[in-house]
Structure 1
Amino acid sequence: MTRRLFFIGLWFAFLGYAFLLAPPDRPETVDLIINLSSGNWDGLNPAIVALFNLMGIFPFAYGAMMFADGRGQKIGAWVFAAASFGVGAFAILPYLALRDPNPNLEGDLNPLLRFWDSRILGGILTLGAIALLGFGLSQGNWSDFSQQWQSSRFIHVMSLDFCLLCGLVPALLGDDMARRGLKNPKLFWAVSLTPLLGLLLYLSLRPPLEAATPALQDSPQSS
């Protein structure tokens, strides 16, 4: 119950901050979102372009844990995973609040689950994230980004959303490791404390689900 209340409280806090305390949106925000979504990036700050596209990598990374986790839940993970492509942590937090601990894989692997479990998917996401981080960090105009962070709700909330998604990884990671027979607290914390790239490298190297031991495993957090 404490865990559920924590995630529910965090969801309400983030929602309230985004709509009540974050800077107001600029008139050109809609045009900015359209240009970012359509790939019309000429004249846009590379730091914002990189951040926007990194937010598109997170739903795939979370889906790679959520779809196996959702097999043992009373709620379907796919609804929240799909919604996260549009609203990020606003969709992930309710799932974390409603789910139960699930260190086992329920049922057999199907083609869809094999896709989300694939190391190839993890590798593609890792390479994409490295390219975007390199592009944003090396080419970004950070004084402009700072100004927009202070004056644009879209940029402000998207930045906080990125940070929150980095911080929520441990909530699913422990059970994902347990489903694969991994009981390694050092690995758990190394992945959890390395923003984004830690999770993506884990997805690229983790043992496949069919190699996991069938017996009930403890999550690494409890070790």
Structure 2
Amino acid sequence: MLKKVGFGLLWLGFVIYAFFLAPPNQPDTLELIKQLSLGEWSNINPLIIAIFNLLGILPLIYACVVLIDGRGQKLKAWPFVVGSFGVGAFALLPYLTFRQPSPQFTGQKDLVIKILDSRWLGVLLTLPTIALLLFGLLKGDWSDFIGQWQTNRFINVMSLDFCLVSLLFPSLLGDDLARREIKNPSVFWAVALVPLLGPLLYLCLRPPLAASSLDSVAISN
């Protein structure tokens, strides 16, 4: 219950901050979003480019866990995953608030779950993530970024959203480890203490869902 209250308060606080406390919107925000979306990056700080694009990869990382976790939930997981592509933590936090513990996966893996459960998808997500991190960190202008973060609501909230989504993954990790019968707590901490890259390494190396979990419903019937 405390976790649910905590996630709910975090969501509410982030909403209040984004709409009432963050720096004001700038007149060129829509044009900036358009340029970022269309790849017109010539005059944009590489740090902003990297964060914007990483916020497109992070929902895919979460999808690899949330849509599997959703099999054990009363609420549908996919609307929250879809929403996270547009609004990040604003969509993921309500799911974390209302979900129930789900340490088992039951039923058969459909095509979508098979793809999300694949280590190859983890590899495919890791490569562009590393490229974007290097691009932003090595090419980015930090003084310009800090200035924009202090004065531009879109940059400010987008950056905080990136940090928040990067840090929320461990809240789903414990159940995913249980579904795969991984009982070593050091695995949890190795993933949890390295935001973004830790979850990606986990997706690349985690064992597939156990057949016994998949067949449990059929056996019981």
TM category, shorter: over 0.9
**8 Å contact from structure 2 (residues 46, 135) kept in 1:** yes
After the TM superposition, which residues 123-162 of structure 1 pair with which residues of structure 2 at under 5 Å, given as runs? 123-162=123-162
Q: In structure 1, what residue type is equivalent to 2:208?
A: P
Report the Cα offset of residue 156 of structure 1. 0.5
What is the match of residue 206 of structure 2? Answer: 206
* Sequence identity (%): 56
Q: 5+ unaligned residues in a row in structure 2: which ranges?
A: 217-221
Deviation of 1:210 after TM superposition, in Å, equals 3.4
Counterpart of 2:170, as a letter, is P
8 Å contact from structure 2 (residues 106, 214) kept in 1? no
Moved over 2 A (4+): 210-216
Q: Does 1:168 align with 2:168?
A: yes
Cα distance in structure 2, aligned partners of 1:28 and 1:75: 38
Matches within 5 A, 1:29-108: 29-108=29-108
Counterpart CA distance in 2 for 1:132 and 1:190 is 22
Q: CA deviation at 1:50?
A: 0.6
C-alpha displacement of 1:86: 0.0
Residues 80-122 of structure 1, C-alpha deviations (whole Å, 9 max, x = no match): 0000000000000000011000000021111110111111111
Name the counterpart of 1:118.
118
Q: Which amino acid aligns with 2:200?
A: L
SS in 2 for 1:62: helix
Q: In the aligned structure 2, how far is the partner of 1:76 from the partner of 1:213?
A: 20
The size of the alignment, in residue pairs, is: 216
Per-residue CA deviation, residues 110-167 of structure 1 (Å, 9 max, x unaligned), is 1110111111111011111100000000100111101000001111111111111122
- The one-letter code sitting in structure 1 at the alignment partner of 2:34 is I
- Structure 1 unaligned segments of length 5 or more: list them: 217-223
Find the residue that maps to 2:41 and give its secondary structure.
Answer: coil
**Given the two structures, how large is their TM-score scaled by the length of structure 2?**
0.94
**Partners of 1:156 and 1:31 in 2: how far apart?**
16
The one-character-per-residue Cα deviations of 1:43-66 (angstroms, maximum 9, x if unpaired) are 111110011001111000000000
Contact 1:180 1:212 in 2 (8 A): no
Q: Closer, same or farther in 2 for the Cα pair 1:43/1:186, shift >3 Å?
A: same
- Partner SS state of residue 210, structure 2: helix
Counterpart in the other structure of 1:220: none
Equivalent-residue separation in structure 1 for 2:147 and 2:202 (angstroms): 34
Q: Secondary structure at the match of 1:183?
A: coil
The answer to whether the 8 Å contact 1:181/1:213 transfers is no
AA aligned opposite 2:191: V
